């Protein structure tokens, strides 16, 4: 049994998007497999955007971010779900990671100052991205550069390993069979906590 934290990265508080269906399907399947579930809904949080290096390094996180950090600490596995906007994660989700994954919580400068200790080592992650274009176009033509950034330069840098990726494309194409198949695959991942 694993502790799973689902981070719903859609910035719209209306819970009518396909990403919300993904989160519900994953959570339901994981719960039925006896995994413990918590969820962070980015749209429901109240936090400022970081504007200075000083604030990132030394600033005090607000209460919503402190609570999110407690949930991240609790989790063995996190699932980050978001829509692709302008080729990247929504700005609010990026702002959340900047707030939550601060020095002292997610990483710390190693002795000598030439490297960082990964304070979230021992946890795994899955990134689930929805998009209007076919997933293979994003994967092969656009090279998934923004997902790779989240995977390598943010999550792996803080110690998450492995970090797996699920791309769900053509979500607006009206192909209900394809979306049903995607949700079935998500349910399988929830059951096995991957």
The overall average pLDDT reported for the chain is 95
In this predicted model, what pLDDT tens digit does every residue of 117-148 receive, in sequence order?
Answer: 999 999 999 999 999 999 999 999 989 989 99
Burial of 113 (0-12, 13-18, 19+ CB in 10 A): exposed
Rounded to whole angstroms, the Cα distance separating 124 from 155 reads 9
Q: Once rounded to an integer, what is the mean pLDDT over residues 82-105?
A: 96
What is each CA distance from 52 to 92, 95, 103, in whole angstroms?
A: 17, 12, 14
CATH topology for 3-192? Rossmann fold (3.40.50)
Task: Please tell me the number of Cα atoms within 13 Å of 50 on its side-chain side.
Answer: 22
Domain boundaries in the chain? 3-192
Asked whether the whole model's pTM tops 0.75, one would answer yes
């Amino acid at each position: 049994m694993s502790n799973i934290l689902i981070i719903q990265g859609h910035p719209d508080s209306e819970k009518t998007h396909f990403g919300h269906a993904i989160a519900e399907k994953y959570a339901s399947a994981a719960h039925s497999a006896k995994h413990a579930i918590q969820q962070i809904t980015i749209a429901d949080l109240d936090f400022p955007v970081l504007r200075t290096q000083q604030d990132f390094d030394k600033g005090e996180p607000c209460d919503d971010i402190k609570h999110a950090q407690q949930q991240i600490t609790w989790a063995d596995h996190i699932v980050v779900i978001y829509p692709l906007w302008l080729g990247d994660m929504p700005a609010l989700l990026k702002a959340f990671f900047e707030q939550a994954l601060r020095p002292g919580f997610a990483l710390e400068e190693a002795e000598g100052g030439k490297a960082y200790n990964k304070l979230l080592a021992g946890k795994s992650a899955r990134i689930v991205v929805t998009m209007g274009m076919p997933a293979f176009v994003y994967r092969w033509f656009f090279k998934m550069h923004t997902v790779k950034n989240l995977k390598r330069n943010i999550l792996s840098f803080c110690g998450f390993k492995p970090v797996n990726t699920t791309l769900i494309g053509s979500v607006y194409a009206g192909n209900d069979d394809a979306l049903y198949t995607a949700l079935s695959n998500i349910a399988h991942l929830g059951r096995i906590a991957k």
